[in-house]
Structure 1
């Protein structure tokens, strides 16, 4: 019994700025800092491979010293709005009714809300009262693929059902105004806000089939990525070891997974990779390049939107699906997140 991805859609917040428009805000934020440090920070923004960032807040709000409570209130309000909009868009694109859904998974790591987003969507979109809900809150950038894996397992065990995975993220809401660490600066340079929705089905429907899925967990690398909860909010943890660690584990992440399905990287037509940031993208591009493959769609999503945490890989998937791959072509989805872990999905179009 196969599980297929029927539809992917996205929703962007109302505020956006190109990189050149962000630089004057950096002058205000970094006022009083060493001139060499200021030049270094601007260089990081200018060379981040991100042309434009979308945000749930106006840049003036982002660079205003507000409380964690105030920022989280904005996060809750805007995540509910983005989640509702992207779910409604995806349902319309698939020609599904809200009551067609049997399972809803909501994904986010950039704020705190209880009840979780799925509870709000049940009311706002009038989903069924017996819908099964699962919030995924602490898997970071990997959670978009994680959500699809959980949905696939549910659908495989329940033929004739339908599921939605909704990823909503605002890394902007985690920006720390009083933190001048490289982790905070680099994350501000590469991240943006956004939402995406994936609709899946174990009915007879069109769309790529999920052939296989797997998680890969790195030992003793918990320190590399995540958030630390401080009085000012969620403080980014981002170790400089991340690209090197990915490169070291890359053969074990890719080849055994494909071999289990009697495939090699040569059999993969579409690489659907999460754009974690400039250094990670360049590292993985070099690795895939050595294997004769490209991650052009990944780089384009990073350029157009930045890293939107869990939602970003779903933007790459949408680009691939919109290009209507030929029947029988195969795709490999890949993302990395806190833990440290890698998430993988094999698709057949």
Structure 2
């Protein structure tokens, strides 16, 4: 029995600014810091490969005044609003109603709320009272692909069912006002907020790319490379500068055995649907695959237009491929990385 992705839709928050318009707020935030440091930070923002980003709050609130409690209150409210809009859009694309969903997975790591956002969606949209819920909270950037893997396994065991995977992230809600470390600054330079919803189905007559295979790959002894530390002022980013090099070193073991067990090679893959973690990671991937004639243009474009939105980002890349109406038989390799450290892979066939 096959499981297919039948629709993907994104939803952006209401606030948006180009990177050049964020610089004045950045300068105010850095006032009192060394001039050389300020120039370095501004250059970092300008060269991050992100032209524009979206946010659940305006730049003034991010950089100048909100506490952890205030930011998390905004997150809790806006996460549900964004999730609802993204889910409705994806349902409309698939010509489905909210009551047609049997399994709901919500994904987010950038704020805290109990009950999780899926409970609110069930009430707002009057979804089925026997719907199966799974909130995923601690897998970071990899969780969008992880959610699809969990949904696929549920649907594989349950014919004629549908699942929704909704990822909502607000990295701007984790910005640390009193932290002038490069990790906090790099995070602010590359991340943005966004939401996306994916509808999957195990009905035979519904159309979309089929999930041929899926797998997770876990890096040993790399727990401290990426994640969050809960401090009094909120979720403090952990981001090791060795992440791009580590990914590069593991790429052969991540990609080639996974494809080989499906009797294909990287040369057979038509589309690379990769999570744009940041400019350096994008460059690393390009160096690895460019010589094979493969491109990650859609990955780069998503980073440029929206920034890294953690778990939701790779779903923005996936939506671009879904909207292209690709030829039957095309293969796509979906890949994301996240805390753990881990890589999540999906092989798709149109």
TM-score category of the 2 structures, normalised to the smaller one? over 0.9
Report the alpha carbon displacement of residue 285 of structure 1 after superposing the two structures with TM: 1.2
Q: Counterparts of 2:70 and 2:29 in 1: how far apart (Å)? A: 19
Q: 1:244 — aligned with what?
A: 245
- What secondary structure, in the 3-state scheme, does the structure 2 residue paired with 1:222 have? coil
Q: CA deviation at 1:66?
A: 2.4
Q: How does 1:209-288 map to 2 (within 5 A)?
A: 209-288=210-289
Q: How does 1:301-312 map to 2 (within 5 A)?
A: 301-312=302-313
Q: Which 5+ residue runs of structure 2 have no aligned equivalent?
A: none
Q: How does 1:179-218 map to 2 (within 5 A)?
A: 179-204=179-204, 205-218=206-219
Q: 1:199: Cα distance to partner?
A: 0.1
SS across alignment from 2:200: strand
1:190 CA drift (Å): 0.3
Equivalent position SS for 2:224: helix
Q: Deviations over 1:149-174 (max 9, x none)?
A: 00000000000000000000000000
Report the counterpart of residue 319 of structure 1 in structure 2. Answer: 320
Partner of 2:54: 54
Query: What is the distance in 1 between the residues matched to 2:224 and 2:292?
Result: 30
Question: Helix, strand or coil: the match of 2:165?
Answer: strand
* 1:22 matches 2:19: no
Q: Return 5+ residue gaps in structure 1 as ranges.
A: none
Q: Which residue of 2 aligns with 1:290?
A: 291
Partner Cα distance (2:289, 2:243) in 1: 17
Deviates more, 1:288-297 or 1:46-55: 288-297
Partners of 1:91 and 1:313 lie apart in 2 by 19
The separation in 1 between residues aligned to 2:285 and 2:223, in whole angstroms, is 21
| Aligned residue number for residue 86 of structure 1 | 86
* Secondary structure of 1:324 counterpart: coil
CA distance in 2, matches of 1:283, 1:93: 34
Aligned to 2:40: 40
Shift of 1:63: 1.2
Secondary structure at 1:199's aligned position in 2? strand
CA distance in 2, matches of 1:157, 1:193: 34
* Residue of structure 2 in register with 1:148 after alignment: 148
Cα deviation, residue 310, structure 1: 0.2
Q: Does 1:116 align with 2:121?
A: no
Distance 1:334 1:10 in 2: 18
Q: CA RMSD in A?
A: 0.6
Residue 229 of structure 1 aligns to a residue in which SS?
strand
**In structure 1, how many angstroms separate the alpha carbons of the residues matched to 2:209 and 2:305?**
25
Aligned length: 349
TM-score, scaled to structure 1: 0.99
2:3 corresponds to: 3
| Deviations 1:303-330, CA, capped at 9 Å, x for gaps | 0000000000000000011111100000
Distance in 2 between residues matched to 1:137 and 1:337, nearest whole Å: 12
1:232-288 deviations in whole A, cap 9, x for unaligned?
000000001100000000000000000000000010000000000011111111111
